[in-house]
Chains A and B, each alone.
Chain A
Amino acid sequence: GQSLEQPSEVTAVEGAIVQINCTYQTSGFYGLSWYQQHDGGAPTFLSYNALDGLEETGRFSSFLSRSDSYGYLLLQELQMKDSASYFCAVGGGDYKLSFGAGTTVTVRA
Chain B
Amino acid sequence: GAVVSQHPSWVICKSGTSVKIECRSLDFQATTMFWYRQFPKQSLMLMATSNEGSKATYEQGVEKDKFLINHASLTLSTLTVTSAHPEDSSFYICSYRSMNTEAFFGQGTRLTVV
Given contacts A95-B32, A95-B97, whether A43 and B102 have CB atoms under 8 Å apart is no
Given contacts A87-B44, A101-B43, whether A48 and B102 have CB atoms under 8 Å apart is yes
Task: Give the tally of cross-chain contacts (CB within 8 A).
Answer: 60
Q: In the bound complex, do residue B43 and residue A30 qualify as a contact, i.e. CB atoms below 8 Å apart?
A: no
Chain A residues in contact with chain B, CB under 8 A? 30-31, 33, 35, 40-45, 48, 50, 87, 89, 91, 93-102, 104
Number of interface residues of B (CB under 8 A): 26
Residues 72-114 of B, flagged 1 when their CB comes within 8 A of A and 0 if not, give: 0000000000000000000001010111111111111010000
A-B interface, 5 closest residue pairs, ranked by CB to CB distance from nearest: A42-B105, A30-B100, A45-B102, A42-B108, A91-B100
What's the Cα separation between A99 and B97 when bound, in Å? 14
Q: In the bound complex, do residue A95 and residue B100 qualify as a contact, i.e. CB atoms below 8 Å apart?
A: yes
Contact residues in A for B103 (Cβ distance below 8 Å): 33, 35, 43, 45, 89, 97
Of the residues A33, A44, A97, A102, contact of B34 by C-beta under 8 Å: A97
User: Which B-chain residue is minimally distant from A8 (CB atoms)?
Assistant: B41
Q: In the bound complex, do residue A95 and residue B98 qualify as a contact, i.e. CB atoms below 8 Å apart?
A: yes
